[in-house]
């Protein structure tokens, strides 16, 4: 199982707009499109982010450290180290503190430069995340016969109800049909019984040999499998499909197959309560009462919502 990530939560993390979005004391954010502390200076810069306690976030940034100056950072109340080079790691927000902070103090001949700061919510595959209004659906399909390196596809969907909107892509992302410029046909042979259109299918949906043509599964000979993780915001009977294009943008003929993926997203948790569990089958959301001062669980409310 692998993770995907939510949208960028940091404003102006590359300092292209200098100090915009940041609260700052001491650091220089205005001259070199990065945050710098030069010799014999100290400071703290920070930004409030849309993060929540208990959730995991991917933190990335680049740093150049000259000498051994004092420096540290915090995200969601959790301290992280600042070392020379590119840093990447997952931080679990441990408090209601929504700030990302970078602090430092330099000595003679010492300096710090920080750039390309990024924070994104970690979305586990198939999990309900953030405020329980986003789900992730995994769609896979095999590249059919008749395509060449440079060809690509675009994902379409029905937004949870009705027929697929084939006029407006669900995502503008263009996914190469042959990543790296070449297909994987094993022994140089195209797979048997490949249909003239892409065959998407949902992860964990039952498509046995009676319904899934030979070589269309990820284990079929020569099938090049493309995977898309799709954030969805609403419950519904979602249907996904792909249109294929050549490298010049000309649409391939044929009607793409589709895949249905029922999506049931847990309702949002009211303020002052914590989600204990959510049963998709019975649509029961079990909550706990949270002490607003200590953030400790006081017990279950008298009834389920």
Taking only the tens place, the pLDDT of each residue in 117-176 is: 999 987 654 433 334 445 666 666 666 666 777 888 888 888 878 888 888 888 778 887
Contact between 29 and 19 (Cβ < 8 Å): yes
pLDDT of residue 264: 65
Domain boundaries defined on the chain: 3-124, 135-263, 270-305
Whether the per-residue pLDDT at 182 is higher than 50: the answer is no
Grouping H, G, I as helix, E, B as strand and the rest as coil, residue 180 is helix
Percent of the chain with pLDDT over 90: 20
* Per-residue pLDDT at 287: 72
pLDDT reading at 48 higher than 90: yes
pTM over 0.75: no
Q: What is the DSSP string of 6-60?
A: EEE--SSTT-TTTTTT-EEES-B-SSSSSEEE-TT-EEEEEEE-S--TT-EEEEE
Better pLDDT: 94 or 137: 94
Topology of domain 3-124, CATH: Jelly Rolls (2.60.120)
């Amino acid at each position: 199982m692998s993770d995907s990530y939510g949208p960028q939560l940091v404003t102006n993390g590359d300092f292209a707009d200098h100090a915009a979005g940041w609260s700052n004391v001491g650091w220089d954010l205005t001259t070199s499109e990065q945050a710098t502390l030069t010799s014999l200076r100290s400071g703290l810069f920070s930004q409030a982010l849309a993060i929540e306690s208990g959730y995991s976030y991917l933190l990335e940034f680049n740093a150049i450290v000259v000498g051994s100056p004092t420096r540290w950072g915090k995200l969601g109340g959790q301290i992280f180290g600042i070392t020379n080079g590119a840093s990447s790691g997952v931080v679990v927000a441990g408090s209601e503190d929504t700030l990302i902070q970078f602090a430092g103090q330099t000595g003679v001949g010492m300096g710090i430069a920080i750039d390309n700061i990024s924070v994104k919510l970690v979305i586990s595959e198939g999990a309900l995340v953030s405020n329980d209004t986003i789900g992730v659906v995994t769609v896979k399909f095999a590249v059919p016969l008749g395509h060449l390196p440079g060809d690509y596809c675009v994902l379409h969907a029905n937004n949870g109800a009705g027929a697929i909107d084939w006029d407006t892509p669900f995502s503008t992302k263009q996914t190469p049909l042959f990543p790296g410029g070449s297909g994987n046909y094993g022994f140089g042979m195209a797979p048997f019984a490949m249909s003239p259109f892409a065959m998407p299918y949902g992860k964990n949906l039952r498509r046995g040999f009676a319904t899934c043509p030979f070589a269309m599964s990820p284990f079929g000979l020569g099938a090049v499998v493309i995977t898309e993780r799709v954030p969805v915001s609403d419950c519904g009977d979602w249907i996904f499909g792909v249109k294929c294009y050549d490298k010049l943008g000309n649409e391939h003929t044929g009607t793409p197959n589709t895949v249905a993926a029922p999506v049931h997203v847990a309702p949002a948790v009211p303020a002052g309560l914590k989600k204990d569990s959510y049963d998709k089958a019975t649509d029961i959301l079990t909550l706990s009462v949270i002490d607003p001062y200590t953030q400790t669980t006081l017990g279950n409310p008298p009834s389920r919502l």
